[in-house]
Structures are given as C-alpha cells and as structure tokens.
Amino acid sequence: MMAKMQRTLLCSCYAMISRKVICRVWKSFRRRYNNEKDHKSMDKLNEKRIKWLVDQVVKKKKLPREVCIVYKVTERRIQQLVKEFNETKRYPVLKKNRRPKTYLTEEQKDEIDKTYKKTYLNPRMLYYELKRQKHYAPKDKIYEYMKSKGLVNSKLNKKKKRKRCRYEWPESGAMAHSDYHRTSDKDPHCILWIDDASRKILSGGEFKEETTENAIVTFEKAEEGLEKYKWKIERVNTDRGTQFFNSKRDKKGNRTLGEFEKYLEKRGIKHIPSRLKNPQTNGKLERRWQEYNKHRWKFDTLQEWISWYNDRLTTALDIESFETPNIAFRRKLPNRIALFWERLENEPECVK
C-alpha cells in the first residue's frame, strides 16, 4: 500500500514539474511574440484580412496568439476584433477617419538627396540605406518623392511574375560567373568575375578586344583575391563564347579544349558552360551589367566602380542586416573559423 502511494506521489510530482517547465517555455515564447518592438513593421489590415482572422478564432477555434503572427499584429488586437464580432455579429470595419496624412520634412528630403547621390539606389534600397545611417523615412513617401524628381522609372516588364526559380551556391568561392559586355560601340569591352554566393565582384578589366588572354589575366586576379583568405574558386560558369569555350569539332565529332578550358583543367577548376540561348544561367552577372551601364561612367576607373558596388546594399542578400557583397563574402567563407583562429595566433594582442 505504501509503495503504491509513493508511486502515485512521484507521478504527481513529475506531472507538476513538467507542467511548470512547459508553462515557462510557452510563456517565454508568448512574450517573444507579444513584445511591441516585434510589431514595429505591422502590416495594414483590410476587410478581407480581418474576416480571415476572426474566422480562425471564432469558427476554427484557434487561439489569438496562433494567428496574430500571420499579419504581424498583436494578440490584443485579435482579441478586440473577436470581441466586436461577438457583440455585433458583424465583421469589424476599419474607420474611414484615419490619422491625417504626413509628409516628408525638408531634413528628410535633404538626406534622401545626399544618400541617392552617393549610392544611386532605388527607393526600396534607399530606405534601408537611410536606416543603416540612422535616418528614417517611409518607403512609400521615398518613392513618391523620387518619382516627383524623375529619379524613378516604372517598368511594366518587371511587374510580371517571374517563372524561373533562383538558384544560389551557399559558400563563397563555390562558383564564379564571367562574361564580356560593352555598353556601346565607343566603349571598351569589359569582363567581370562575380562570386555566386555573395554577389561580390572579384575582379574585372576593360580592354579593346574580347580575348582569351584577357579572360585568363582577370581570372588570375580573382584567384589572388581568394588566396588572401586561403580559399579558391571551385567552379566557373561562362557562356559558350570563343574566349571561354571551343565549340569546334573534328571529322570524328570530337571536341578539343580551348586555351581557357585547359587553364581551368590545370588548376583543377570545373568549367560549367551555359546552355545555348539561355542567358538566365548567368543571370547574376547579366543583372550587374545593368548597374554597369547606369553607374560605371560616373567613376573615373573600373576599380573605383567595383569598390563602390561591393560596399553597396543589394536585395539579393540579407537586406534587413544591411549586408553588402563584401560582408556576405566573408560571412559565407567555409573556412572563416580557421582564419579567425589563425589571426588569434598571429595577433594575440587583438584578444585583449
């Protein structure tokens, strides 16, 4: 009898302990999503969203804390909507008499003008650049202001749905893209080498002609840049131009390697040529040619433009953390921990 009572007492104690642990975990989880700081960027509710939120709680018996995360509103706001629905039996409607419209101040306009002259970013990217500089201005007002000054051109083709799925290598140096480009017949032929994972331009050059020799010289500079981090380029993606790829075949149908392909083979680097008539494979570099045409001629040299670009924000990376290609390149290096320990060994004073 005593043994049975002891077992019952132990089971009840375990149940109480587990309940407390679960309760603490849930409270910490709930506190995380009820913090007002997490809802600074609250999405605007409309009638359709309000109806969906109310139905989830009233009809599907979900808790307010389970659905408030969907549209980034507080749990209390969901409770208010449900209460109004239960009292009136009608879905809540937003008040038409909203807060008065606000406008950009002269100080905000000056900051937008100064930042745009330095970065030439579009309205969305300019918002994050201002935020990085500890200045604030709403996205829609930045867009309206820049549009009024003729700094924004809406393109209908960019509003269409993309059919392709973006691919991306996870580590720096896993793949490098390259191609030749020319803004006009009067301008030089430019070649760039860009890292797939970080979008960092590793090297580049402007020449009178598109040759294999120029491709090899610029690629060697890109390799030197990675040697500083004790890493190397593992793969290369180019088009099937004669500078990179030999498409000629002999009478037996066999294809011999070109000079650039032989160079990569000696270095142990895999060459991945793009499919015929498919520039999207090299799309990351094709996108950089747009920036090249827009902003290259605002700088005296190509290297100045490359340095400017590598320290510039881009939506392809972690924009919320203000990540630039230079920062992303270091973050995505697979051997960054080994580099850190080596630095500690060589510079022990940096620990202090």
* 107 contact partners, CB below 8 Å, separation of at least 6: none
Share of the chain above pLDDT 70, in %: 81
pTM of the entire predicted model: 0.61
Q: What is the C-alpha to C-alpha distance for residues 343 and 74, in angstroms, rounded to an integer? A: 46
pLDDT at 17 over 70: no
pLDDT tier, 314 (very low <50, low <70, confident <90, very high otherwise)? confident
> How is the chain split into domains, by residue range?
47-88, 106-150, 176-295
Q: What is the mean pLDDT of residues 255-283?
A: 89
What confidence score (pLDDT) does residue 21 get? 38
Q: What is the C-alpha to C-alpha distance for residues 32 and 64, in angstroms, rounded to an integer? A: 15
Q: What is the C-alpha to C-alpha distance for residues 145 and 138, in angstroms, rounded to an integer? A: 11
pLDDT in tens, 41-77: 445 788 899 999 999 999 999 999 999 888 889 999 9
pLDDT at 2 over 80: no
Cβ–Cβ < 8 Å for 68, 78: yes
Q: What is the mean pLDDT of residues 282-286?
A: 88
pLDDT at 25 over 50: no
CATH classification number, 176-295, choose in 3.30.2020.30, 3.30.420.10, 3.40.50.150, 3.30.70.890: 3.30.420.10
Cβ–Cβ < 8 Å for 77, 66: no
Q: What is the mean pLDDT of residues 198-202?
A: 94
Q: What is the mean pLDDT of residues 270-276?
A: 90
What confidence score (pLDDT) does residue 260 get? 94
